[in-house]
Structure 1
Amino acid sequence: MISNRKIVTALTAGLLLLTAGCGGVEQVASPAPVSTTETPAPTTETTPTSTAETTTETTPADTSETTTTEEETTTSETEEEAPRTPSGSYDVTISGSVSGTSFRRSATLRIVETISSSGTTNDVNPVDVCLVSGNPAGQPQPGAIWFGSNSGCVPGAGAGHLDLATVDVDGDTVTVEPVENMAATGGNVFTSSSSIAACPFFPVSGRLRVTAGGGVSGRIEVTGYGGAFCGKTVYSAKISG
């Protein structure tokens, strides 16, 4: 018969064994310790696409070139405009000789806009010009003269607008040359004496050339025809004013 002491000893040993087994089970079942240190997620570095390389750059139209072109056009148009021509009425002095007789007298030089562009016997005059001193037809005197490119230029001439001469303008200088076949109209005339029988001479050649820019300077030298009895004579004078 087994004694109580042996039974107790056996039970105690069994309990110890059971306890040891349970401890081994707990050790096996216990999960591995989790590390509290966080492992950073791998960083993927994305390089942004260069917008400078992929962007199409649109260059605005060069306005400076357009402006320059407009300025050049304006300048060209300005340069193509007709140059300013001299104009006005000037009190001048004419001193010279006609038929060997010297004279010095006052006169009026007029440079006006074109009087007539119709009925001309030559090109239309850019301006019309006349030199007036005395009244050669009504009161003959040495050096008295009416000479112009159009009869309408002479105040009180009373004649129609007859184109009597050609006119050329070069800056401030104007040149007038009589048209020979218009001499017979009597629109241009000068005298060489104060005699009641003084011959009227009608310019058939020569020129009047004056420069009008602040002051007036120039010359007139024309040959006049007085008919078969009077023949030809030269009128030559300096113009200043």
Structure 2
Amino acid sequence: MAEIQTSARSDQRIRRRTVLRALGGIGASAFAVSGRGAAQASAIPTNPTYYQVIVEGATTHQPFRREVLLLVAPPLDRTTVNFDNGQNARDIALRSGNPAGLPEAGSIWFATNTSLYDAVGIPSNTDASNIDVAIVAADAAKNLLQITVDGRVWGLPSARSAVLNNFNSRSGLTAGVYQIIQGEILLQFMNGGQTVEGELNLVGNGYIEPGTFRYVATIAGQVTQPPQG
């Protein structure tokens, strides 16, 4: 698969890694959780906080730039039927567009816990399911969250349980919808949690179309009001 080129802003505060790592090369062990500065207030939100962000990058098929709603929430309880992937430091959800209903490049739905779908306006019947499909670590001293999609269980990713975690790689009525089965999101919070920057490096698998597809982008935005209705 050809390497995907993404734009990078010169003022980005998270040092960019090689975003097209081999599948399976992303893991929570790569993220050191620091205890320094524990007495200082972290900018990582401790209450449910919504951000309006711009996500800009490229999929396997084409570049994109989109507005995305991001929710950062305290960790949710996990269902008793879980994948032994640990308690999350926070839970997050992303929503932009409608990947299955109106395919557009960069359109995305994602939640680390399936009970967050409704909170960002993703219609679902899993609001009380509490299925945890990610590993979320926090570095309070550096105001960083690392979200790793859990692809470790039984040789198949627990992410398979979150059927609404998906994205479009291209636009058009015939465009495929790809379930997010692996990858990583890094978020850094600034200005007391009023702003956020970071990057996404996700891998999707076609529900029908075979193969894997990339979603690589930067993210930046600020606190906004919760969605209405």
TM-score of the superposed pair, with normalisation by structure 1: 0.61
- 1:183 aligns to 2:159 (yes or no): yes
Match of 1:106 in 2: 67
- The count of corresponding residues between Structure 1 and Structure 2 is 163
Identify if the C-alpha distance between structure 1 residues 98 and 163 changes in structure 2 by more than 3 Å, giving closer, same or farther: same
Determine whether 1:217 maps to 2:158.
no
For structure 2, the residue ranges without an aligned partner over 5 or more in a row are 1-36, 152-156, 222-229
In the alignment, the residues of structure 2 paired with residue 232 and residue 195 of structure 1 have an alpha-carbon distance, to the nearest angstrom, of: 19
* Normalised TM-score (structure 2): 0.64
In structure 1, what is the equivalent of residue 139 of structure 2?
Answer: 170
Structure 1, unpaired ranges of 5+:
1-78
Matched residue SS, 1:109: strand
CA pair 154-202 structure 1, distance change in 2 beyond 3 A: same
- What aligned pairs does 1:70-149 form with structure 2 within 5 A after superposition? 84=42, 86-87=44-45, 88-119=49-80, 120-121=82-83, 122-149=85-112
Q: Give the greater-gyration-radius structure (CA).
A: 1
- Alpha-carbon deviation of 1:228? 6.3
What one-letter code is carried by the residue in structure 2 that aligns with 1:233? F
Per-residue CA deviation, residues 75-110 of structure 1 (Å, 9 max, x unaligned), is xxxx98897572211110001111230110100111
CA 1:80–1:218 in structure 2 vs 1: closer, same or farther (change >3 Å)? closer
Which letter does structure 2 place at the counterpart of 1:169?
A
8 Å Cα contact 1:164-1:187 kept in structure 2: no
| Aligned mates of 2:78, 2:43 — CA distance in 1 | 17
The CA deviation string for residues 134-169 of structure 1, in whole angstroms up to 9 with x for no partner, is: 121222110001122112223334223221111011
Q: What amino acid is the match of 1:200?
A: V
Which residue of structure 2 aligns with residue 71 of structure 1? Answer: none
- Report the 3-state secondary structure (helix = DSSP H, G, I; strand = E; otherwise coil) of the residue aligned with 2:52: strand
Deviation sequence 1:194-241 (CA, Å, 0-9, x none): 322321111222200011222211000111111563311110011011
- Which residue of structure 1 lines up, in the alignment, with residue 5 of structure 2? none
Higher helix share: 1
* Equivalent position SS for 1:190: strand
CA contact (8 A) 2:88 2:137 kept: yes
Q: Distance in 2 between matches of 1:200 and 1:118?
A: 27
The alignment yields a C-alpha RMSD, in angstroms, of: 2.2
CA contact (8 A) 2:79 2:131 kept: no
Q: Greater relative contact order (Cα 8 A, min sep 6): structure 1 or 2?
A: 2
User: What SS is found at the alignment partner of 1:195?
Assistant: coil
SS of residue paired to 1:230: coil
| Residue identity (%) | 26
Identify the residue that residue 9 of structure 2 maps to in structure 1.
none
